Each structure stands twice: as C-alpha cells, then as structure tokens.
Amino acid sequence: MAITQFDSESIKQSITGKLQRYNGITVAEATPQQLYKAVASTVRDQIMQKWMVFRERWINEKGKRVYYLSVEFLTGRALNCNLLNLCSQENYQKALRELNIDLQDILVEEPEPALGNGGLGRLAACFLDSLASLSIPAMGCTIRYEYGLFRQKMVDGQQVELPDSWLQNGNAWEIAAVEDTCQVQFGGRIEEREENGRMVFHLEDAYTIDAVPYDMPVIGYDNQCVNTLRTWSARSRERIDLRSFGEGEYIKAMEEMQMAEVISKVLYPEDKHYEGKMLRLKQHYFFTSATLQNALKTFKRQYGNHLELLPDKVVFHINDTHPGLAIPEMMRLLIDQEGLDWETAQRITYRCMAYTNHTVMAEALERWPVEMMRQTLPRIFMILEELNRRVCESLFQSYPDQWDRIGRMAIIAYGQVHMANLCVALSFSVNGVSQLHGKILTDTIFHDYWLLDRKKFSAITNGITHRRWLLESNPALTSLIRDAIGDGFYKDAQQLERLKPLAEDGAFRDRFDQVKRSNKERLRKLIHQRQNIDFDINFIFDVQAKRLHEYKRQLLNALHIQVLYNRLVDDPGFSMPPRLFLFGAKAAPGYWRAKLIIRYINALSTLIEKHPRARQMLKVVYLENYDVSTAEVLMPAAEISQQLSTAGKEASGTGNMKFMMNGAVTLGTMDGANVEIYEQVGAENIYIFGMRADTVESMYREGIYNPMSIYETNFEIRKAMNQWLDGTVFPSEPLAMQDLYHMLLQGDHGGMADPYFVLKDFGSYSMANRRIVEDYQDRQKWLRMAVINTAMSGYFSSDRTIREYNEKIWHIDPIL
C-alpha cells in the first residue's frame, strides 16, 4: 500500500483545517501551543496508516518480535524526530514558513516526556529509534508515569524539585488501547487444590488493578517501519468501586481508587541507589505482568496453544533487573493459566529472556526483603522459592559443599530476593554495556555463573541514535558533513569516517569552526533567555553534563576550578585562555551530599564573579533543569567533554558519545566507553588521566589509600580545601562544606576516606588540563582533533549496537 507523502500545500490545508475544526480559529489567532497541537496532529495522521500496515505485515509474516522492558524510556520530544524520520522536515518547514510560522517556535511547545532518570532510560529510547530504523519489530514497554522526573530549579544556589506534569495539556502522540486492558493482582493468599490430578494455585482476596495501555508510535528513518512504545497506566477497577458505592462508602471507594492509581503516579528519582520501597516493587510487577499477559495474548492469537513456539516468536529484553519479575511471571502464566508442567514452563521461559546489566555498584543492586515479596506478590514469591530451590540444587552439583559460593549465587538468600542472580540464572543471555564493563562483570559479580556457562555472557557497547544526536540536534554540522561526504551517513553512521582526511583540510576546518561558533551562540542565547546569564562565546566551552553522583566526580572538576581561581588571584602573572565551565546535573532529592556538591559549584560561580581579574578568564554556569531538550542544544556547543568517573564505576556512559559526535574532545578516565573512544580516535585526540580500573581495584583491596598525605603535600589542594571552611567559599555559612571536607580526609561512619579517589587523581587531572589549554591555543591543532572525533564517532551509533544485539541475542528478521 502506498503511503501518502504530504506536500507543503496539503500540509498547510490540514493545519488550518485542524485549527478550524478543533479550535474554531485561524492560524493568525492560534497560540503557539494550539499550533503545536495542530501540527502534531497532522503528523500523527500520516503515521497512523503506516503503523497499521506495519503491524499487519508483522502478523502476516509470522516474524519474531522483541519486547524491550524498561522502567524508563527517556524519549525527549517527538515532533521533530518524527518529521525527520518521515523525511517531512523540509515540507513542513516550507508549509509553516508560508503560514508565517517558524517551526522552531512550534517544536519547543511540546512538553518533554521525562520518563527516565538518565543513561539507562535514554539508552532505551535510542534503542527504540534504531530498532525502528533497522525495521526490527519491537515493542518498548514501560509505565505511563503521570509525573516524570522532577523539574529542577535553583534557589539561592540550591536545587529545588518541582513536579513535572507533562500530561497536563494532553499527549498528542498516544492512543489508548483500551481493548488490551488487563488485570494485575497484588496481595491476597494462595489456595492450593487438586484439580484433575494436578495441583493448582488460586489467589484469593487479592487486590486487582486495571492496567490500561497507551501506545506511542516509534517511526523508523525513511522506511516502512512503525513500532510501538507501550506505556501502562494503573486504574482502579470500576467493579470494586461500584460495590462500595452501593454500600454508601463513597469516600472509601474514592480512597481505594487513589491507592490503585498511585502505582503509575510518579517516576522514582533515585538512580543507582536501591531502596526497598514497596510501591516501587509494585510498579515493577505492574508493568511487567501487564506486558507479559499482553504478549502471550498476542502470541496465542497467532499461534494458538503452540507455546513451545514462543521462544522462536518473542524475546523479552530485561533492561537492568527492574523488570526481572518477568521471569517468575512468565512461569506463573505458563503454569497457572496455560496448564504447562514446571519443566516445560521453565525451559520456555529461559529461552525467552535476555538480561542487560548496567552497573556493578553494590548499592544499586536490586534486592527485595523476602517478607515484602511474599506479602505483595504471594504467588510470584512461591515460584521464586521453587526456582531458587532448583537453581541451588544444580549449583550444588557444580560446587558441592561450597555454601558461601552458593549463597552468593542464590536467588533467595539471607532474607532477600537477589534480582541480578534471578536474571543471570534464568536468562539465556546476559550482557554488559561496554567492553570493560563486560569484563568486570565476568571477573567479579557474575564470575561464578560465568565459570558454569561462558557462552551466555557478552559485552555489547552502548550507542546513541545519531539521528537525534547529530541530524536533529546539530543541523549546521549535518549540512557541513553532507556537503563534504554526501548524505550516506544518515543511514550508515560508519560513513562519517570519510571525514577523517578532511581534518587535514584547512578550509574544512574553518567551516567546522564556524559551525561550532554558531552552536555556541545558540547555547548562549538559550541560557540567556532561560537564566538571564550572559557570557562570551570566545571562551572555551567545557562541559560536564550527567546525573550528579559521587562516582562521576563533579567534585574533581569543581575542586580544580577552585585551584585555577586561586592561581589567577594569587599570581598576577598567571593567565589562561578564557574558559567557561558548564555543569548540567540533577541530584536525587534525598542524596544530600550530591546536593551539597551543587551548592559548591554555584558558590564557586559566585566567588569567581566577585573577582574582576578571575572573571575575565574563568566562568562557571550551572544549567538549570538539564534534560534531553537541553542536551540537544548543549552537546553541539561543547568543545571539551568531561568524563571523570572513577575507573571501573561507569558501566559505559553515553553522554561521552554524544559530545564526541558533535566534535568535542574528551577529557576522561579509562572507564566504560571512554576506553573505546580512546581506541577509535587514538591517544593524540583525547585527554586521558587518572588511575586505571585494575589499580583502583587493588587500592580498594589493599586499603592503603591515604588522601590525608596528598592534602598535606599538595599545597594547591590544601589551600582550596581550607577555603571551604574559612568562609571563602560560603561566606555566610562557613560550615556548609564540612561534610565534603571530612568525606575526603576521614571518611564517614567507618567507610574509607575519599572512596572515589578525587584527591588521588587530582594531580593527573590537573596535568591533563594543562595539556588541554596549551593545545587549545593552537587553533588548527584543536580543530583537527575535533574533526577526528566526529569522524570516528560512527561506531557509537546505536544502529551498530542494535545490529549486535540482533546478531548475538535476538535473531529477528527485519521486515523490509
């Protein structure tokens, strides 16, 4: 079936028509928000048919599909992305111009769905874009949070959290699929009975909640594919409410309704910090159960009861352990609902499940108290116990009498359900997200499992969609590249490598420079408009943008800025190329030390502004409310990309890739994907500093690290840290920085001092910074490096990542 491609004339007509029919107004009368809605709705019209056709083809061709389960999808705005992928950008631009409207003014009207915290959620969104662009049938599955990640405001240099009510004006892209509404049960007790010679389990007195799916289209680039992002919303069941209403318990019924609906109310703002909150457990089970019920229903519609075919037709990808309850839930459905025996159910389940790990940090590993699991999900807990019994029994065959080892590997041990062990034991595939991370997984937390079945483990380096992170966010660079090497890189990011020889072309470098300057100007305008701060675009734009975490070491960056400040103040002969340090980061609301680091950065900014000489060469700007849309303006403007995590801690990082693609040079440790950026660009085009992961590991093991001796011998560090407490940094609150001071020098409650080696790596970081400013002064040298970085970034397209997942794990035939 041919898909209609709108020309600018029919686009204009449909926009004016929408405004007339829905709002009864003309284009001239419409507010930007009304215009956005009208435009989005015309784009949606174009998508609907394609969406239907693709779904039908998938059904007819009886192909396989991946369900990508993730508690987060940080998609960012959709309108521009959809226009790009439909190849309608130009037509829309033209149509709108003719209506006297600037497309840019419309795009910013779209509320950004902030359904994620950071890397893990953004990765899921990049994966959806690549899956569709590679025509791989896929459904992303998550929760339809009514409130996404909080909006961040700075008040007196401190982070304040505001609610993100992104659905307030409706969501132009979603469609409720009420016909797929299903029920998810919580609590209750299990009744065991024998029926027809078989033990069956009934859940009695459970609390039932409706799961209502809302679908959003995910469009492939210049192809026929439209996949789906399905978000599940919790709704109380009307039946229950009616009974209570009848008994005159109106208020109680309303309360129950609220209790049910709280499940999809809000995204938890903690990232990489596990806390055993019951509501979170309910969230995880809620969307996992709904997804699996729905997948099974869809499967049975196509293949009837041939459940042995399931692993050939569906694969469930478990994005970190959060959707790991998919495993016992699949067992439950196959046994309790479909009547399979345990062994068959377990064999099928195993062959359907693939798991990606995103962290090795102990505090982020998901573990649930046994009692909470038993009470909240009694049948699931029973199944987990039986799975655990069988797993331990088989471990005992391999590791007889090694109880410690078996305890570490068990699904249930020491009163907790260990989600990572569940996922490793019962998935056919386990992968890390960079080569280094994959190696650390099999060397450490999953070592014992790896010894038993090495083939199961792999490392697949993360990627980013170059469509959003280059084509969409950096049109100036895109058009420069297109002029130089053609537009083959739109579909095949590896072709960016053809830019490499152009690093030696002076005229090309000049144009590259012009592009960077225009992007710096665009960022300057945005920050001026949003925060009423101004700066000179001739400063070096040096950026660290990512969640605020101690292991990411924003503190190292800040401490170094303070040292630079002191050099400027203390030595009138010292000068440096003017440098703007930009920070963008949200801190988890309860992570008070991270919030203190935010205050510190803002205090530095104030301190520098007060000094007439320092502020000529140094500026610090804290970007409020860093989100996907901000990143899209920030990345293209960056010249230095700071990636400072303590080696071994950052599983991959993906911001590092976005910066690189936009021509920023990395200043970073040998951690996560930085290692692979280093391999791509070569030692001359990156600034590496700090301890390597193995050294960090042995420092932990040996326990010999003594940051106090560094403080004592390094005058610059000592001076800066003393200024934390003498009123220099916080004139009105000299004790504010005490916690950080003690953390670095003494450690708190029995923990080691400076656990992320800020002081240890400071010297090496400072030296790398000296090399940077020296090289930056040779403009041509710097531009050469920048071009090489863009040229070698094709490897980090998530298209490559998804191809690897498909070749190694999913084995899905694309529908072309």
Residue numbers annotated as active site = 358, 546-547, 552, 654, 658
CB 802 within 8 A of CB 814: no
Nearest to 120 by CA among 362, 361, 460, 356: 356
Pick the binder of ligand 26Q from 53, 99, 364, 537 (CB under 6 A): 364
CB 360 within 8 A of CB 651: yes
User: How far is CA 770 from its chain centroid?
Assistant: 32
Kindly state whether residue 693 participates in binding ligand 26Q, applying the rule CB under 6 A: no
Pick the binder of ligand 26Q from 652, 662, 685, 806 (CB under 6 A): 652
What is the smallest separation between the CB atom of 139 and ligand 26Q, expressed in angstroms?
20
Pick the binder of ligand 26Q from 651, 717, 740, 788 (CB under 6 A): 651
Mask for 100-119, x = binds ligand 26Q (CB under 6 A): -----------------xxx
How is the beta sheet containing 579-584 ordered, strand by strand? Answer: 618-623, 579-584, 540-545, 640-643, 665-668, 687-688
Strands 618-623 and 412-413: what pairing? unpaired
Strands 353-356 and 429-432: what pairing? parallel
Kindly state whether residue 282 participates in binding ligand 26Q, applying the rule CB under 6 A: no
**Binding-site residue total for ligand 26Q (CB under 6 A)?**
26
Across the strands, what pairs with 429? 354
Kindly state whether residue 263 participates in binding ligand 26Q, applying the rule CB under 6 A: no
For the chain, the C-alpha Rg in angstroms (whole number) is 27
Pick the binder of ligand 26Q from 109, 146, 210, 271 (CB under 6 A): 271
Q: Which residues contact 525 (CB under 8 A, 6 or more apart)?
A: none
Kindly state whether residue 129 participates in binding ligand 26Q, applying the rule CB under 6 A: no
What is the smallest separation between the CB atom of 484 and ligand 26Q, expressed in angstroms?
30
What is the smallest separation between the CB atom of 386 and ligand 26Q, expressed in angstroms?
24
Mask for 321-340, x = binds ligand 26Q (CB under 6 A): -x------------------
Pick the binder of ligand 26Q from 110, 210, 627, 650 (CB under 6 A): 650
- C-alpha span between 181 and 377 (Å, rounded): 20
- Which residue's CB comes closest to ligand 26Q? 119
Residue 366 burial (CB count, 10 A): 20
- C-alpha span between 34 and 19 (Å, rounded): 8
CB 227 within 8 A of CB 218: yes
What is the smallest separation between the CB atom of 547 and ligand 26Q, expressed in angstroms?
7
Kindly state whether residue 188 participates in binding ligand 26Q, applying the rule CB under 6 A: no
Kindly state whether residue 317 participates in binding ligand 26Q, applying the rule CB under 6 A: no
Kindly state whether residue 653 participates in binding ligand 26Q, applying the rule CB under 6 A: yes
- C-alpha span between 207 and 377 (Å, rounded): 10
What is the smallest separation between the CB atom of 147 and ligand 26Q, expressed in angstroms?
16
For ligand 26Q, which is the closer residue by CB, 212 or 420?
Answer: 420
Stretch binding ligand 26Q (CB under 6 A), from 264-272, 443-451, 618-626, 756-764: 264-272
Of residues 566 through 625, those in contact with ligand 26Q by CB under 6 A are: none
- C-alpha span between 601 and 562 (Å, rounded): 9
Write the DSSP symbol of residue 201: E
What is the smallest separation between the CB atom of 654 and ligand 26Q, expressed in angstroms?
5
Q: Which residues contact 300 (CB under 8 A, 6 or more apart)?
A: none
What is the smallest separation between the CB atom of 363 and ligand 26Q, expressed in angstroms?
9
Number of H helices, E strands in the chain: 34, 23
For ligand 26Q, which is the closer residue by CB, 171 or 652?
Answer: 652
Write the DSSP symbol of residue 167: T
What is the smallest separation between the CB atom of 278 and ligand 26Q, expressed in angstroms?
12
Q: Which residues contact 276 (CB under 8 A, 6 or more apart)?
A: 367, 368, 369, 372
Pick the binder of ligand 26Q from 73, 274, 757, 810 (CB under 6 A): 274
Residue type (1 letter), 362:
A
Pick the binder of ligand 26Q from 358, 509, 619, 784 (CB under 6 A): 358
CB 675 within 8 A of CB 434: yes
Mask for 457-496, x = binds ligand 26Q (CB under 6 A): -----x----------------------------------
What is the smallest separation between the CB atom of 56 and ligand 26Q, expressed in angstroms?
33
- C-alpha span between 809 and 312 (Å, rounded): 12
Q: Which residues bind ligand 26Q (CB under 6 A)?
A: 117-120, 123, 268, 270-275, 280, 322, 358-359, 364, 366, 433, 462, 650-654, 672
